[in-house]
Structure 1
Amino acid sequence: MLRELHIRNIALVEEVRAEFGPGLTALTGETGAGKSIVIDALALALGARSDPDLIRTGAAEAAVEAAFDVSGIPAVAAALAEAGLTVPEDGLLILRRLLPREGKGRAYVNAQMVPAGTLRALGECLVDIHGQHQGRLLLSARRQLELLDAFGGTAEEAAAFREQFLAWENVRREQAALEGGAREQAARRDFLAFQVKEIDAARLEAGEEERLQAERLILANAERLFALVEEAYGVLGGEEGALLAGLKGAAGRLAEAARFDPDLKPLQ
């Protein structure tokens, strides 16, 4: 049974909260009063296709929350079990849908995020929305099977089978998870063994990384090194007067070259 419906920023409605009791509830009003907005909001909570046009003008997000008393409804328990959920102890099931103007919408069952398809599956067990030439629940394969089981007097057997099938599904998922974990561990072990072999084959030595980095620096700046040393050598090979005048420049070039190749430091 629908216990409460909370609507926020849908169409013309800024916010409204309605509580429902047992028996018949009738919504009346003239055309345009917003009766259909209530139905559209409820349909959203039950997993209907979202439409950004439903968001109230000026609002960044619309939201609808529907609370149902699902005590003693086996179909709801089965739908929850298929989604990995359970019936709350108090029997109160809260379906919530958030519809942002930009980005992806979100769906929740009792504060736990779920796919919109989970809301649709639960909605088929909870509400039948009838419009002109429309009987949504009668088109549901799940509902058709329930009616067939009820007509044949096998509803209890069907419920027992459903329970056993869900238990088998849980065991199958656990088995698949264990097998997948074992495969991942074996693959990880093989990968680590391969890496150990590669490291052993490389015969790395202490300080090798630093030596390779220094060599890389020299090779990366080989052209500049050659030019600096050549300029310094040219200064040293000149006339005596030019030599004295150019010693400072040669020392500067050698100092710059030593930044790339430390072996040149003794020449500074």
Structure 2
Amino acid sequence: MLASLHIANYVLIDNLDIELAPNFSVITGETGAGKSILLGALGLLIGQRADTSAIAPGKDRCVVEGRFTGFDPEIETVLDRYDLDFDAEECVIRREISAKGKSRAFVNDSPAPLTALRELSDFLIDIHSQHKNLLLGDSYFQLNVLDIYSGKPELSDAYRTAYRAYMTKKKQLEELRAAVAAADSERDYLQFRYEQLENAHLLSGEETQLQEEQQRLTHALDIKRELSRSYALMSDDEQGLLLGLHRADDALASIEKYYPDASAYRQRLQEMRIEMGDIASDLGRRADDLSYEPERLAEITERLDLIHSLLHRYGADTTQALIAIRDELGERLASITAGADDIARLEGDVRALHQDVLARAAELTAERLRSAEAVEEALSRTLSLLGMPQVRFSAAV
């Protein structure tokens, strides 16, 4: 029901606020008092068209706002369809018309199209005028009469619940199909990229290790030459460092019996000889083991070229980043495969819910047919009492 009405700058009304009492309210007045203006303002709230002539002279806009309470909860389905907020306690509709010819409508403070206002009006307000009755021609009202007259309105509620569940699941299925189709359209591209990275057999930190080995092999001859030279400087039989240390030890040994400090020096020299001997041995072994390997160098260069190409192509900085991209591609491909399984599951759910809807619809339809026959008989009897014995009333479902 309409609980309150606010009108500002509409035709002859500057500002008006009406609070209506519950149940039954009457507005009376002689001809020209403004009753039709109130009906015109209400017409704006149910989606009727308006022009700038509705704006009070000298004003830049008019506003009509109605607050409704105690309405049919079925209104929520209309609000959901237009993505509007639902409040179980009240519904507020506001209409604004500017002098520039622009019209705006709001439902619970959210912008709404006029079509939404027209649909909501069936649940909120019914304006009766001479020679017109809106409800009797409304199919929703007619079916509601049959459901109430049958004494089993729960059948209609059960059908609505089943239908909403079916439509919700069907929407989920359609959205999933669209998502999978969009993903499937790029599946080949994703598969190509994944296989390109997978076949590269990347290792974390591999690039750094290969670059170090490449440097070593590139300068293998220089390294071998300098290692050999270092070994020679230490081990030469005539001028090597080890020979010099040996001769220094002999010199100190010759004075050790009358220069006791020579023993300490000899001890330190012997430690140096052992350490330098190890170094010389290691240098010699490294020099012998090291060789120039053009095949291995070519292999490493080719591998680095591949890694650098992948880094550039995928905008990555390290092989670890490439591995992360590969794993992400794998997950996306797996989700596409899983999406197909989810579609199959949802299709089964939709079929089951659809069968439930059909069963409840059949039950509801059968009850409405029985109710329609009862309404036909009751109306015929009542109209006969009103002096119309030959009347025939037929309800077609």
TM-based fold match above 0.5: yes
Aligned match of 2:151 in 150, 153, 162? 153
Aligned match of 1:162 in 140, 153, 160? 160
- 1 CA distance for matches of 2:139 and 2:115? 15
- 1 CA distance for matches of 2:171 and 2:61? 37
- 2 CA distance for matches of 1:138 and 1:114? 27
Looking at secondary structure, tell me which structure has more strand per residue. 1
Question: Structure 1 stretches of 5 or more lacking a match?
Answer: 194-268
Q: What number of residue pairs does the alignment pair up? A: 192
Q: Is 1:41 equivalent to 2:41 in the alignment?
A: yes
8 Å Cα contact 1:6-1:65 kept in structure 2: yes
Secondary structure at the aligned position of 1:41 is classed as helix
Q: Which has the higher contact order (CA 8 A, sep 6+)?
A: 2
Deviations 1:186-242 (A, max 9, x none): 55678999xxxxxxxxxxxxxxxxxxxxxxxxxxxxxxxxxxxxxxxxxxxxxxxxx
Moved more, 9-18 or 101-110: 101-110
- 2 CA distance for matches of 1:65 and 1:162? 31
8 Å Cα contact 2:85-2:110 kept in structure 1: no
Question: Structure 2 stretches of 5 or more lacking a match?
Answer: 192-397
Matching residue of 1:227: none
The Cα shift of 1:160 comes to: 1.9
8 Å Cα contact 1:129-1:137 kept in structure 2: no
Matching residue of 1:29: 29
Matching residue of 2:175: 177
- 1 CA distance for matches of 2:189 and 2:96? 45
8 Å Cα contact 2:51-2:101 kept in structure 1: no
- 1 CA distance for matches of 2:151 and 2:76? 20
Aligned match of 2:96 in 82, 95, 98? 98
Cα pair distance change 1:7/1:174, threshold 3 Å: farther
Q: CA-atom RMSD, angstroms?
A: 2.7
Matching residue of 2:9: 9
TM-score normalised over the length of structure 1: 0.62
* Larger gyration radius, structure 1 or structure 2: 2
Secondary structure at the aligned position of 2:74 is classed as helix
Matching residue of 1:201: none
8 Å Cα contact 2:84-2:110 kept in structure 1: no
Matches within 5 A, 1:43-82: 43-70=43-70, 73-82=72-81
Cα pair distance change 1:9/1:184, threshold 3 Å: farther
- 2 CA distance for matches of 1:70 and 1:78? 16
8 Å Cα contact 1:7-1:41 kept in structure 2: yes
Deviations 1:74-124 (A, max 9, x none): 3323433444445415x1111111223335422221111222111111111
TM-score normalised over the length of structure 2: 0.44
8 Å Cα contact 1:46-1:122 kept in structure 2: yes
- 1 CA distance for matches of 2:100 and 2:182? 39
Moved more, 170-179 or 140-149: 170-179
